[in-house]
Chain A
């Protein structure tokens, strides 16, 4: 899967989990999204795993708190 496609699917999941996020971009981080708390982080990871059909290394992904970082991570595992 191309990185661009991963990014597009990731954006859709972000909108699904967090609602309409203003100015969503790869630079958007947890600091920009009030709803990106611990519970929603769990939901986000589960949705990403389901969408991309993969299981993340939870300790590797735990510190990634921006959209671009998640896209990079998924791209590196595909």
Chain B
């Protein structure tokens, strides 16, 4: 499995180890479920058989019948039109494609910060809650993150929350997750009023350089719209992943 997908799955596994999250590990998949339908709600890590459509259909049917998270991520390479048709008959549709991107070049030191902004690791409860407010408003859709979970994740060495502050206000943030040799960047979000100013780019450059000093690789999953931005920042496409949802 490539390191990008592996990091994503480990990200959910580690989040699932937090007290406020349920983690279910089966032979072919794992599922995480936050309290009260909060984030994370995800089926992942599908080590599928040669018949992935059938497997995903069974998995999602089971998740609905057992009130587990109702959607799944899977490597796009597994799917062809025929398998999509099988899923469609079960009311399971692909709803998003994530482009897997790995950083291909780095500055040797953290990138210089822009004027009048400060980038730092978030530490206090207030900062973490501000981060939650940011990603719940600008990033997450149906399932919002519980602030308690942010505190639980922050207690783990593998997770690091970073923020970019303008005049003392948190306006952009991301969550870095490190497994053995890879760091994944998640929840990259900027307040709407502060977009288009290169703030997130500065934050990503800074954190990527920091993480590069600790792990070999830095990876992220991008929407199609964001691919050009990340390409300019030194990331290159290494694959695709599909998000499925069952009605």
Whether B142 and A39, one on each chain, are in contact in the complex, defined by CB atoms closer than 8 angstroms, is yes
Residues of A near B224 (CB, < 8 A) are 63
Q: Tell me, yes or no, whether B121 is within 8 Å of chain A by CB.
A: no
Residues of B near A46 (CB, < 8 A) are 91, 93, 247
Residues of A near B225 (CB, < 8 A) are 63
Known: A37-B142, A38-B95, A63-B97. A58 touches B84 (CB 8 A): yes
Q: Which of A38, A45, A57 contacts B96 (CB 8 A)?
A: A38
In whole angstroms, how far apart are the Cα atoms of A63 and B84 in the complex? 16
In whole angstroms, how far apart are the Cα atoms of A68 and B124 in the complex? 44
A 24-45 binary contact with B (CB < 8 Å = 1; else 0): 0000000000000111011101
In whole angstroms, how far apart are the Cα atoms of A39 and B93 in the complex? 9
Residue of B71, B95, B96, B247 with highest tally of chain A CB at under 10 A: B95
Q: Tell me, yes or no, whether A62 is within 8 Å of chain B by CB.
A: yes
Residues of B near A59 (CB, < 8 A) are 84, 94, 97
* Closest residue of B by beta carbon distance from A57: B81
Whether A38 and B88, one on each chain, are in contact in the complex, defined by CB atoms closer than 8 angstroms, is no
CB distance from A13 to the nearest CB of B (A): 15
CB distance from A63 to the nearest CB of B (A): 5
Whether A39 and B94, one on each chain, are in contact in the complex, defined by CB atoms closer than 8 angstroms, is no
In whole angstroms, how far apart are the Cα atoms of A31 and B163 in the complex? 23
A 49-70 binary contact with B (CB < 8 Å = 1; else 0): 0000001011100110000000
A-to-B contact residues, CB < 8 Å: 37-39, 41-43, 45-46, 55, 57-59, 62-63
B-to-A contact residues, CB < 8 Å: 71, 81, 84, 88, 91, 93-97, 141-142, 224-225, 243, 245-247
**18 A-B residue pairs with CB within 8 Å:** A38-B96, A39-B245, A39-B247, A41-B93, A41-B245, A42-B91, A42-B93, A42-B245, A43-B247, A45-B93, A58-B88, A58-B93, A58-B94, A62-B94, A62-B95, A62-B97, A63-B97, A63-B224
